[in-house]
Homo-oligomer: A and B are copies of this chain.
């Protein structure tokens, strides 16, 4: 045996192990059918061990959901760094990155778009993550304003509309209401781009403005 301990009495990284173990359970049972006891068992610990790392079951699910919102935030940061001179591209890629994350992580999406979040509590990690994601979008919009896009529209209106549209599209897709049960990444991306162009130019303006 080497000097560094393995499989000690203490797990070492149980928190992450539980977050990982929850994914297959979500895929099999859905968010409503997931039990903390099964997640614990599948991580190889007793059913009370998770309480050392999560206040309760909702806290575990919240930690999973936070990853999704962080991805929306990271997507807008990445897009700003990748196309620093193209605010429209930043705007589109922010949405596409979010969509791709959801398509590639359907179990996390399932938790994000479910309603197991704490009643209100503005100090929750979920609200924190959501605020950061919105801030990323605000920055993208402000880059566009600096570049002279968006005419005299208010930043708040542009952010609110963009956010609603991307959230709605992604939620509807992830829940299978549009695009069929399993849209391919290409199909999904094509739909998203058409939606983005419709919003960009407006319902009543010609497509190529």
A residues sitting closer than 8 Å to B (CB atoms) are 30-32, 58, 91, 110-111, 113-117, 119-120, 127, 130, 149-154, 157-158, 160-169, 171-172, 175-178, 181, 191, 194-195, 197-207, 209
Contacts and interface: CB of A to CB of B under 8 A. Distances in A.
18 contacts: A32-B116, A91-B203, A111-B115, A114-B116, A115-B175, A120-B176, A149-B204, A158-B198, A160-B169, A160-B178, A160-B198, A161-B165, A161-B195, A163-B168, A166-B168, A168-B168, A199-B203, A205-B205
A198 B195 CA distance: 14
Per assembly, the copies of the chain total: 2
Contacts of A209: 202, 204-205
A200 B158 CA distance: 12
A203 B152 contact: no
A204 B151 contact: yes
Complex A-B, nearest 8 residue pairs according to Cβ-Cβ distance, in ascending order:
A202-B202, A168-B168, A164-B168, A114-B115, A167-B168, A164-B169, A161-B198, A201-B202
Contacts of A120: 176, 181
A177 B44 CA distance: 36
A125 to B, nearest CB: 14
B115 A194 contact: no
- Which of A161, A164, A191 has most B Cβ within 10 Å? A164
A131 to B, nearest CB: 9
Contacts of A117: 175
Given A151-B204, A160-B198, A164-B172, 16 more contacts: A31-B115, A114-B116, A115-B175, A117-B175, A130-B177, A158-B198, A160-B194, A160-B195, A161-B194, A164-B164, A164-B195, A165-B165, A167-B168, A201-B203, A202-B202, A202-B203
